[in-house]
């Protein structure tokens, strides 16, 4: 897949994924330097010409979130002053995406703020994967391609022999994603009804659907503290579910989440490399989205539709 006129630039947040994408496109990453002043300010230097090229900046805004975001913004500004044809921000994990609406009085809508910052910094287009809330696309005044890892997961689970499998949405907000997943696999759907008394805390209230004597696949956009997934797995076990599998696009895995998953009733957790997680540990299985992102970059550069990537 050799492509002319494309330049790939990577920040520090997921250099391994950027290199995989570059390898699939048979091009090299643009040479650049990211350094710090003594007070911690970020300094970016791009060491190759990008004039009249389509430049793709690969930078998920993952932990440390604010550092990764500032790196992205400064890279975009540096590129804007270097006369490229277009600047496309490739943000596999869009940090602050959970803050997409006001829940309490005087809450910020931080996802909108970040969208404005990325646009003002110089991005002409954004490519991302499985936004926490699809409406975030509307926060931008530039085109946004929200790719999905669902087809990667579908291909993975089609190869497994499961007993009367059921797809489960771990909360009401994930019903559409779970329904699409279930439709493609032709499996029935169940839903976990939960409440969240405060941030990063969830309580299961009900299981809607039949899971007794069935293997279960839960699908989510992210795993952060793992509380939602582990509580949901316990509720499904109480309802008679057999083996429980989990797939999630973004492995945030903060705090003691890995320990929770290893000690849970979940048999396997499949995640992708939108966030650096290069070592498979215990129950964790890693799939790469480098092929999906490389194809999206190729289609965007050649002016082709990316709709086939969703089929």
Lowest-pLDDT range, 99-103, 158-162, 200-204, 220-224? 200-204
Is residue 144 helix, strand or coil? strand
What are the angstrom distances between the C-alpha of 230 and each of 45, 133, 142, 202, 254? 44, 22, 38, 10, 14
Q: Smallest Cα–Cα separation from 6: which of 25, 24, 20?
A: 25
Cβ burial, residue 175 (10 Å; 0-12/13-18/19+):
middle
Q: Which of 73, 69, 49 is nearest to 61 (CA)?
A: 69
- Tens of pLDDT, residue by residue over 94-125, are 999 999 999 889 999 999 999 999 999 999 99
Give yes or no: 186 in active site: no
Q: Is the pLDDT of residue 307 over 90?
A: no
Active-site residue, selected from the candidate residues 194, 237, 239, 260? 194
Q: What is the pLDDT of residues 50-82, one digit of tens each?
A: 999 999 999 999 999 999 999 999 999 999 999
Task: Tell me the domains of the chain and their CATH numbers.
Answer: 6-148+290-310 (3.40.50.2020), 150-287 (3.40.50.2020)
Quick one: pLDDT band at residue 233, thresholds 50, 70, 90? very high
Nearest residue to 219 via CA among 262, 196, 187: 187
Please give the Cα distance from 236 to 229 (Å, whole number): 10
């Amino acid at each position: 897949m050799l492509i002319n006129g494309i330049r790939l630039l990577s920040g520090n947040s997921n250099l391994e994924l950027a290199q995989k994408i570059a390898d699939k496109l048979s091009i090299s990453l643009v040479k650049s330097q990211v350094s710090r002043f003594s007070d911690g300010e970020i300094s970016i230097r791009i060491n190759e010409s990008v004039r009249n090229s389509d430049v793709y900046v690969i930078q998920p805004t993952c932990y440390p979130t604010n550092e990764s975001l500032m790196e992205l913004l400064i890279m975009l500004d540096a590129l804007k002053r270097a006369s490229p044809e277009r600047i496309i921000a490739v943000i596999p994990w869009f940090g602050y995406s959970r803050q997409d609406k006001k829940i309490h009085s005087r809450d910020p809508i931080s996802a909108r703020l970040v969208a404005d910052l990325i646009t003002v910094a110089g991005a002409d287009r954004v490519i991302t994967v499985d936004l926490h809330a699809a409406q975030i696309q509307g926060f931008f005044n530039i085109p946004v391609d929200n790719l999905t890892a669902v087809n990667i997961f579908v291909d993975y689970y089609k190869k497994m022999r499961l007993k009367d499998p059921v797809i489960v949405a771990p909360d009401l907000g994930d019903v559409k994603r779970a329904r699409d997943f279930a439709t493609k696999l032709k499996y029935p759907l169940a839903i976990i009804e939960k409440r969240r008394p405060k941030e990063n805390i969830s309580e299961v209230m009900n299981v809607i659907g039949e899971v007794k004597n069935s293997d279960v696949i839960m699908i989510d956009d992210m795993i952060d503290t793992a509380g939602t997934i582990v509580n949901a797995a316990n509720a499904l076990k109480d309802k008679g579910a057999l083996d429980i599998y989990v797939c999630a696009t973004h492995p945030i895995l903060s705090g003691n989440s890995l320990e929770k998953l290893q000690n849970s009733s979940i048999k396997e957790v499949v995640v992708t490399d939108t966030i650096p997680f290069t070592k498979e540990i215990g129950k964790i299985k890693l799939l790469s989205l480098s092929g999906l992102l490389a194809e999206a970059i190729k289609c965007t550069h050649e002016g082709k539709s990316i709709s086939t990537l969703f089929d």
